[in-house]
Structures are given as C-alpha cells and as structure tokens.
C-alpha cells in the first residue's frame, strides 16, 4: 500500500508541474507497470518459499479489486496483489509463469523463474 501511495505522489507532483496530458498519461501508465512488476517480483519470492516448503509450485489467480482480495491459491500461500492488480500463475509446463494485469491499463507484465518481470 505504501509503494502505491508513493507512486501516486510522484504522479501528482509531475501533473502539478504542468506536464501535457499525454505526458501525464504516459507517466501514470509507467506507474501502473511498476506496480505490476513489483507484485510479480514479490510473487516470485512467495512461489520460491512455497516450493521449498511443499516441493511444488502453486497455480491460481489472485485479484485485488476495490481493496478486496480474492484468491484461488491455497490458504497457506501468502501473497496478495496490489490494488487493482490481478495475478495469474500457470504451472502446466512443469515450472511456472505468472502474468499481471491492471484494471486501468491494457498493458500486461510477465515473469518466469530466473527472469525479471517484463511488461508489454
């Protein structure tokens, strides 16, 4: 929650400095992508800890919509996405891949083991 507040503070300051609307929208979109990348990095840590404890990865979806988190992950998997972010983990290929979407931008971000989160 703290990181989201900081991002909004930066966006508000830049907007107050008289940036054109297009630049402001671009800055907001970069902020949303930053939130998704941060969530995916935290998810990778949680998946690693879960795998170390249970010997397997967990698949599912977690959504934080309007401050309410809903999740199909097991109860002992400790992860909650940031406000307006949905995280989906797929384990069908023997390992895992995860994607993040944000309710306000059409951009998506993804991560897999040994990689950094990347957005498109």
The one-digit pLDDT tens for each residue of the chain (120 residues) are 567 666 776 767 766 666 576 677 788 899 999 999 999 999 999 999 999 999 999 999 999 998 899 999 999 998 999 999 999 999 998 899 999 999 999 999 999 999 999 999
SS3 label, residue 42: helix
Residues in the chain: 120
In this prediction, residue 52 carries a pLDDT of 95
Closest CA to 98 of 28, 50, 54: 50
Q: Are 81 and 62 in contact (CB under 8 A)?
A: yes
Specify which residues 62 forms β-bridges with: 71, 87
């Amino acid at each position: 929650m703290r990181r989201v507040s900081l991002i909004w503070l930066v966006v508000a300051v830049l907007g107050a400095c008289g940036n054109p609307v297009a630049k402001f929208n671009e800055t907001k979109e970069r902020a949303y992508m930053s939130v998704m990348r941060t969530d995916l990095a935290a998810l990778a840590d949680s998946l690693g800890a879960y795998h170390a404890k249970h010997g397997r990865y967990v698949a599912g979806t977690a959504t934080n919509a309007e401050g309410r988190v809903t999740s199909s992950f097991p109860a002992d998997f400790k992860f909650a996405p940031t406000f307006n972010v949905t995280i989906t983990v797929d384990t069908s290929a023997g390992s895992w891949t995860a994607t993040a979407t944000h309710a306000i931008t059409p951009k998506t971000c993804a991560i897999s083991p040994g990689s950094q989160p990347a957005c498109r």
